[in-house]
């Protein structure tokens, strides 16, 4: 595949994943009809959006090669986005239930994110 076409495809994927991810985290009711006929579940939508947005961050780091955004730091930022969304859904929105498993997972993911970012 020519390099120009590859860069265009990766740029388009980064843009699509970033927009879908941000929209699914911030306004899931806008995109829910595109994915499901069932009722809206903010926990699934938010976590899927965080994963999409994190994938866009990792792809951006891999494609651009910026010195400050190394792949390990990008992975840490992606995990931090997921941690922030999970914490919001657990403590503010109350759609993600608080159990020992979700709490331990949140703390472990936060530790991994801090370790990878710094």
pTM attached to this predicted model = 0.90
Write the CA distances from 79 to 1, 20, 72, 82, integer angstroms: 31, 17, 11, 5
* Average pLDDT across the chain, whole number: 93
What does the alpha-carbon distance between residue 5 and residue 106 come to, in Å, rounded to a whole number? 39
What pLDDT is stored for residue 39 in this prediction?
94
- Residue 1 pLDDT greater than 80, yes or no: no
Going from N- to C-terminal start, the domains of the chain cover 3-117
Mean pLDDT of 56-77: 90
What pLDDT is stored for residue 53 in this prediction?
97
């Amino acid at each position: 595949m020519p390099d120009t076409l590859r860069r265009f495809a990766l740029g388009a994927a980064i843009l699509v994943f970033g927009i879908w991810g941000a929209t699914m985290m911030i306004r899931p009711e806008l995109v829910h009809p595109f994915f499901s006929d069932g009722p809206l579940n903010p926990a699934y939508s938010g976590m899927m959006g965080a994963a999409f947005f994190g994938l866009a961050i990792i792809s951006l780091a891999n494609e651009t090669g910026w010195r400050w955004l190394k792949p390990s730091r990008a992975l840490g930022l992606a995990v931090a986005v997921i941690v922030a969304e999970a914490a919001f859904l657990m403590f503010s929105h109350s759609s993600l239930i608080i159990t020992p498993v979700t709490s331990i997972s949140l703390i472990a993911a936060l530790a991994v994110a801090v370790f990878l970012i710094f």
